[in-house]
Structure 1
Amino acid sequence: MTTSVASLGSILDLGGAGDDVWIGHGDGVPLPQLYGGQLVAQSIIAAGRSVDEGRLVNSLHTTFLRPGRSDRPIRFEVERLRDGRQFSTRVVDAVQDDRLVCRSTISLVEPRDGLAHSRRPPLSAAAEASTDLRVLAEHDGGLGEYWEGFSTVEVRVAPEDPVAPPHSAAPVQNIWMRVTEDLGDDPLLHQAAIGYVSDLMLMSMAVAPHGHRAGHERSLAERWSAVSLDHTLWFHRPARADEWLLFEHASPTAHDGRALVEAAVFGDADAQVCHVVQEALVREN
């Protein structure tokens, strides 16, 4: 699937509005509220522009407080909590129409040599042998209006192993994603772009233990309503978002309508580059 309303480069191009204050604009996706991945991505840019060159994000925790609107600008206010010899800590508030939409606590690090190891990537079909999400959706009447708004991400779904591993309540969904535009060589832009795409397929996995499969996004929207409560990222290694990344999606548990979803992200070096965790509130319509 290739999904464009605004280019990702333009979404990540925040305008300065004073010391540690930045203005971002919506991506035009026809959702009833701002897409959470956009807020995560723009918060990463705002935090990264407040530190010395060379420091990159190692972790982010975003709490979504109220829905925002995609047709209104967002003001990103950065608070500098600490600058140490290796680490910096920032709090980024996303404000729209004088209302706090989300708050992110972001840690940034100056990379140094040290302890290193990684689990192996999952056994999965290559991106070239996986199926475009749009093709899968043909049997479900297409992806639906909201998906038509995403034009900067290509999504391919690998064949599913029918056996659920111990760490997931349903078989994992191995999904390849990449940004379709050249993002250049700024590593902060690639971190922000990974943050943007990381939120795209999590809801699909949240209801996988209840019979949903990737490619049935229209049916998902008809049966379920979901909102993200929070979103956490850990960046382990450099990666390019405009090259194929494999997201191994799993959902270990859900209770009281709150589903925990995670994704281990792998690049072309067979090492984990990022880990994503989100809690979502899911209700059946």
Structure 2
Amino acid sequence: MPTSPGDQQPDGRPDGAEPGPRAERDPWAAPPPGSEPVERVPYPVATPWGAPHPRNGMGVSALVLGITGVLLSLFIVLFWLAWLPALLALIFGGIGLSQARKGLATNRGMALTGVILGVAGLLIAAASAVFTAVIVDKAVDHVRAKVEESKASDESSKKAEAAAEKARHLAFGEAYTFTNGLKVTVGKPGPFTPDEFANGHAKDNKAIEVTVTVVNTGAERVRVETGLPDVSDADGATAELVIDGSGRQKVIDGYVLPGRKAVGTYAFSLPPKAAGKAEVAFSPDALKLPDAYWSGALG
């Protein structure tokens, strides 16, 4: 049977019936007896507009520059480039630490590491500069010593060459020993009378006879490669070799045995105005040995 209207609640529910899911309820009313309390979630607090962001750029820059400065300072050829990033790392790291103390930055460790690396880079760069300066100074001293040694050697060599050159200039009748063991003596030239078939002697010229003696002072036989001397007159002009049919000229050629000697005789024609002095140049091996010179006045 339907319930009477008197038995219903004001909201249209029967007396004692539970409210339906769609029933309207006063949100400020106390919960009905026996029901669980409703948990109220607090509203989130909104972040105020315009909050400042951490200023970590100086710390990051200090760390990067510090690493760069240390790496550059480790290379001898690049240490002079390390001071700038190391110094900037020190400056930026100091600024980063100041901002961290004021609460404007959150990377205090980066800034501190950048400062440490900047100081280390400057110290290593300075040490590398000192080391390079010492090495360069030693290298310069070494080069200077080598130059001085070379100069001394050159002077000694020049003196030795001058002494050797002087030793190769002799007077007629003196002996000179070449490095191959041949001792050569050129006697004072005497007069020579060419025959009527002579070649190389002009009329009114003065003909002289040059005698060259070669003695082997060594222990092995030595070949005389060029046994023909060169004769110059008092004016320095080359005298002409005289060849005739008398058979008095003899050219030194072939080997000279140890302890033996070979004698060569040659005739030359000098002009009358330059016949007062002569110079004879001779070498037993013109391709390997320098000439020796004999000179003097002619009778």
Query: TM-score range with shorter-chain normalisation?
Result: under 0.3
> Comparing both structures, which one devotes a greater share of its residues to helix?
2
Q: How high is the TM-score relative to the length of structure 1?
A: 0.24
- Which has the larger Rg? 2
Higher relative contact order (CA 8 A, sep 6+): 1
> Comparing both structures, which one devotes a greater share of its residues to strand?
1
